[in-house]
Structure 1
Amino acid sequence: MADREMADAEMADGRLVAGRYRLLRPLAAGGASQVWLATDEMLHRRVTVRKCGLTMPQARALARIGDPNLLGVLDVLPGDDEPWIVLEYVPARSLLQVVREAGPLEPARAATIGLAVLHALTAMGSTGVPHVDVEPATVLIGDAGRVVLSDIGPPLTTADSGAVRGSARYRAPERASGEGPTVPADLWSLGATLLHAVEGRPPAAGGTPDPPRQAGRLTAVLESLLRADPSARPSPSEVEEALRRVATPPPPAEERPAAAAVPPAPQRFRWAVLAAVTVIAAAAAAGAAATRTGDDRVAPRPPAPATPSARPHQALPRGFTWWNDPAGFRVAVPRGWRHRHDPGGVLALTGPPGRPTLRVSGPAGRPPDVFTALTAEESRRTLAAYRRVRIEALPGPSAAVWEYTFQDPSGVPMRGQRRLLVTDGHAYALEWRAPRSAWAANLPTVTVVLDSFEPVAGA
């Protein structure tokens, strides 16, 4: 270890930074970065304190991201030569550790992790600060299931990382020839990381990984990410769509209708976000099967085939049922979810603990442009600690999404996603809200619910 690294590591012996952050012990040191576990003596909480080769403008840009797949920046402090960055502390194991201890991951689980890392890379890309070090050691799996891409800024070296940490095994071939960090290079590193996750071992050295053998439905995604020619790799949006398809499991075979017995399904807007097989099972089974009367009753079982609002059968994952709304749409919800109609006819569907909540409004008049309509809604919305994650158009006819974080009246950090679509000349809005700490665990349910929504003619 260089003299400077030794000196920095010794700072952990109780040194107080900015009169507030007490350094406890080093978490990582090497290259141009040092990281310590520390205590915020003002708020009495654990934090991570880091010095790395970023400028103050870069550090401030990172602080504005607020993405759940990146460690939240709590404070940025000027230093003698580079800033100190105070980050949230997430108890977690690296993906490298998880694979070492539990073996290779199932393709759906790896795809779910890949979606989270891709989301983090996209958020960082908006700041102009590259990550340049995507590999299993920098992907953290939190104790509560949260996936976080760590090590923003110059790469680190850690004691538990082994020989592959920071090696060329996860670095795109063009980086070896001196090219700087690019989006295609980060995608190659993502592919190499996911290859390690499903194969249980590092990719082969030399920039040409061995073909996947245990990747299953993830194979085609990995092969496209690991193409030697950067221009031949898919775009981030294409990678996202492909990973969603792998992460969302097909319905069980016994629930799939025979092809000859089912008429063609109506056109649907594919809004899948991400899912994991095991979490879907837990989320679907969480509801109770009891039925109540009154305005706060459990979502009913599917109507009989003769009900006018029923559409041709579409298989649902086990534990879900259809909600057929008098307003002229239907949506799949977990059994046991409660419903109510707020003033104005807005439908609210809520899980047994009271969260998460899905609100559906419409049909309404067609807006001139769904993207502009969501932007206008954002300007009128007043939420505590509000921060935009994204507003963007979605594939398909007249659909857009607005994703954001905020704080509810009781002080709980929340995340929301509002989707607006137009079909048959009518606009529908679906808004999903859940605590940020439970966002990832609820995404499998979001996948099924949002993907199932459709207007019902003649209802």
Structure 2
Amino acid sequence: MGVFLGLEEGLRPLTSDRKQDGRRIAGRYQLQEPIGKGGMGIVWRAYDELLDRTVAVKEVRYAAALGDEVQLLNRRTMREARAAARFEHPNVIVVHDVIEEDDRPWIVMQLVQSRSLGTVIKQDGPLPPKRVAEIGLAVLDALHRAHEAGVLHRDVKPENVLLADDGRVVLTDFGIATLETETQLTVTGLAGTPAFIAPERLKGLPARRESDLWSLGATLYTAVEGRSPHERGMALATMHAVLTDEPDPMPHAGTLTEVISGLLVKEPVQRLTYEETQRLLRAAIAQASPPPTAQFPAAQPIEAPTQAKARKVPFPPVSASRPRPAPAPAVDETPTDPKLAAAAPAVPETGARLSPMTEERRPAAAPTVDTARTGQVRAGMVVAAAAAVVLVAGVGGYLGLRSAPDDEASRGPVASAPETPAQASPSASPSASPSESASEEPAPSSSPSSEPKPTEPADALPAGWEIYKDKKLGFSIGLPKGWDVWDRGGRQVKFKGPGAASNAYLMIEEAAKPGSDPYKDWKKQEPSLKHNFGGYKKIDIKKVDTGKYDYMKAAADWDFTWNTNTGKTRVRNRGFVTDNGRAYAIYWHTLKSHWKDDYDFFEGFCATFKPAK
């Protein structure tokens, strides 16, 4: 797994990799271990002691610079890092802090568990045109937003495009990786990247917005063909080819041929615009997708583990009745417009997180650029996926929007749909878009028999489980033996452990501004967020019968599948509000092939969860 700074493999380290383990930067960031290195420095996994979170810290070094040149580069690095920190976008790495220590910059950024597009190509081979088009839309949207903020990237390449484990496409190193003065380019300064630098920059001309678009075209070419369009084996030969030769043939590009060719035009003014690029990428996706069915197919229940099967998580039988507070007012069950029913929970976020419980949120930005002639980016960022608003902070948001798509495995025993945590009847019929629901996953029946009856936690924990109490957020939950906190940040905590699929994890997130209807929130968020998850297929959004949980006032499940780097994944994102006015998301993510085997984990987590008082 890689991190975000576009660090290249095979470059020599500039310091002893573990020399500074344990060092504190700015009295706050404790360096834990080096996780990447490149021509511009070393990236460390670090712990932010003030905010109790794991971050990535880039130690910037200049191997070929001396004296006054170092000071100039330091000033420029600080200026451009601050510029990159001024804007937020779901597909852009988040810069948390910029520090100057030991006469050099240290850049504190979001830690993204991921593989770079470059690594994926090397390890797995070229990607199909449709997936490359989806990645291209996300990067295009990120570039458009950056350019509007006055920030040029100048180093778009596969190594700087991250395919995050939570499903996001994240562009890294805005104005940080390439810091040389445009009029003083050297072979050393271009080491590792000449094939992705636009012709005008190789001529010594200043970088411009069209330069980033050329690099995007070279990146898309590489993703679909497995090699760069002008690769000649040596830096000088490759640079000469970029300046004088047409791109090599692209036999595997298919529907991407027109857009890649239009981006790789040598004259900047003749290249495709944002709007033209967006239109062609969307067309490529549409041509590669099967036509929508005219009618929603007959719903078939999705099998969930039955009581007869051996269970990893033994629970006592559900009691006939259980005392609980007076029920909340019934939720409006009027079906929503089917056209708006399909969308994937986004994670978010490289930006803000989206939560079904978040009342105050901006629309999530899909990885596309508005086609209006004004060239403005489509308004909004992924709700609650990364912040409390849309990309990073919401309980249901990050879990439902960003993480949820990656967690296509959590479609539990409840026959209700996940939209808002409002109380609803299991018989409520979910609404769904024909094109979205007619996917690989048949929509589950709304009848109680469509899924196994949820088990009751009683007061006893399943055998071998232990109670985990979160000191920061106040909630508690039962965890299987060997499970522990894997990552945390803001109002979310992730857990991993043995016994489940390799990519399985649980996320608990609390909403900063609780709403009242999770079902409606999921419905509203899905259309804007589904584009952030490659291969997203909605299974259902259903209200949850909260009668068996004494802590839930209203709840909804958002179930979907999507394509992650580790395989087809299934997610259940359960958003709910509690009787004491709090709102949470229980986000379960596992391989689709392990859904049945791992389902008991989700049941156990829901049965043992206790909200903060």
Q: Is the 8 A contact 1:29 1:156 kept in 2?
A: no
How far off its partner does 1:231 sit? 1.4
**Equivalent position of 2:49 in the other structure:** 41
* Contact residue 222 and residue 228 of structure 2 kept, 8 A: yes
- Which residue in the other structure is 2:136 paired with? 114
Matches within 5 A, 1:50-449: 50-52=58-60, 53=74, 54-79=76-101, 81-155=103-177, 166-204=192-230, 205=238, 206-207=241-242, 208=245, 209-249=247-287, 252=290, 331=339, 333-334=341-342, 383=360, 395=372, 402-404=379-381, 405=383, 407=388, 411=395, 432-433=524-525, 440-441=532-533
Deviations 1:313-345 (A, max 9, x none): xxxxxxxxxx7x6xxxx73645xxxxxxxxxxx
Evaluate the alpha carbon distance shift between residue 439 and residue 165 of structure 1 in structure 2; reply closer, same or farther with a 3 A threshold.
farther
Structure 2 match to 1:302:
none
Structure 1 pair 83/6, CA: closer, same or farther in 2 (3 Å)? closer
Quote the Cα distance in structure 2 between the aligned partners of 1:445 and 1:116.
18
Q: Which amino acid aligns with 1:130?
A: L
Q: Which amino acid aligns with 1:166?
A: G
Could you tell me which amino acid in structure 2 is paired with residue 46 of structure 1? T
Distance 1:231 1:242, change over 3 A: same
Structure with higher RCO (Cα < 8 A, 6+ apart)? 2
Closer, same or farther: CA 388–439 of 1 in aligned 2, 3 Å: closer
1: distance between equivalents of 2:537 and 2:229? 33
Distance change >3 Å, CA 167–CA 219, structure 1 → 2: same
Matched, 1:6 2:14: yes
Contact 1:33–1:155, Cα closer than 8 Å, also in 2? no
1:9: Cα distance to partner? 5.0
Cα deviation for residue 46 of structure 1 reads: 2.1
Measured in 2, the distance between the counterparts of 1:129 and 1:395 equals 21
Deviation at 1:199, TM superposition (A): 0.7
**Superposed displacement of residue 439, structure 1:** 6.6
User: What is residue 17 of structure 1 aligned with on the other side?
Assistant: 25
Show CA shifts across 1:84-109 (max 9, x none): 32111111111111112222111111
Q: Helix, strand or coil for the counterpart of 2:533?
A: helix
**Normalized against structure 2, the TM-score is what?**
0.45
Asked if the contact 1:25–1:36 (Cα under 8 Å) also holds between the matched residues in 2, the reply is yes
2:292 & 2:533 partners in 1: Cα distance? Answer: 26
Question: What letter corresponds to residue 383 of structure 1 in structure 2?
Answer: E
Describe the SS at the equivalent of 2:22.
Answer: coil
Q: State the 1:76 CA deviation.
A: 2.9
SS across alignment from 2:250 = coil
2:14 match: secondary structure: helix
Q: Distance in 2 between matches of 1:96 and 1:393?
A: 28
Map 1:440-459 → 2, pairs under 5 A: 440-441=532-533
Is the CA contact 1:132–1:181 (under 8 Å) kept in the aligned structure 2?
yes
Shift of 1:250: 5.7
Contact map agreement 1:115 1:240 (CA 8 A) in 2: yes
Please report the RMSD computed on the Cα atoms of aligned residues, expressed in angstroms.
4.5
What secondary structure does 1:26 align onto? strand
Alignment CA distance shift 1:389-1:197 (3 Å) = closer
Q: Cα distance 1:436–1:141, how it changes in 2: closer, same or farther (>3 A)?
A: farther
Q: Deviations over 1:88-147 (max 9, x none)?
A: 111111111111222211111101111111122122223333211111111111112211
| Paired residues of 2:56 and 2:109 also in contact (CA < 8 A) | yes
On the 8 A contact 2:340/2:526 being kept in 1, the answer is no
Q: Give the total of aligned pairs.
A: 321
Cα distance between partner residues in 2 of 1:22 and 1:155? 23
**Distance in 1 between residues matched to 2:341 and 2:263, nearest whole Å:** 35
Gaps of 5+ in 2: 1-11, 61-73, 180-189, 231-237, 302-329, 347-357, 402-522, 539-613
Helix, strand or coil for the counterpart of 1:6? coil
Structure 2 residue matching 1:85: 3-state secondary structure: strand
For the residue of structure 2 that corresponds to 1:12, the secondary structure is coil
Distance (Å, rounded) in 2 between the aligned partners of 1:237 and 1:110? 18
Percent identity over paired residues: 36
1:47 aligned counterpart, secondary structure: strand
For 2:35, the aligned partner's letter is L
Aligned residue number for residue 477 of structure 2: none
Q: Is the 8 A contact 2:13 2:42 kept in 1?
A: yes
Cα separation, 1, equivalents of 2:166 and 2:98: 27
**Counterpart-to-counterpart distance in 1, 2:224 and 2:529:** 26
Alpha-carbon distance, 1:48 to partner = 0.7
Describe the superposition over 1:134-181 as per-residue Cα deviations: whole angstroms up to 9, x where unpaired: 111111111122111122334279xxxxxx973311111221110122
Give the superposition deviation at 1:219. Answer: 0.4
Q: Deviations over 1:196-215 (max 9, x none)?
A: 11111232222132021110
Distance 1:16 1:444, change over 3 A: same
Is this contact kept in 2: 1:36–1:48, CA < 8 A?
Answer: yes
Q: Is the 8 A contact 1:188 1:226 kept in 2?
A: yes
Q: TM-score, normalised by structure 1?
A: 0.58
SS at match of 2:204: coil
Tell me which amino acid in the other structure corresponds to 2:48: D
Q: Give the secondary-structure state (helix, strand or coil) at the position aligned to 2:224.
A: helix
The 2-side partners of 1:444 and 1:65 are apart by 27
Counterpart for residue 541 of structure 2: none
Specify every segment of 5 or more residues in structure 1 that has no aligned partner in the other structure, as ranges: 158-163, 258-283, 300-322, 335-349, 357-380, 417-430, 447-459
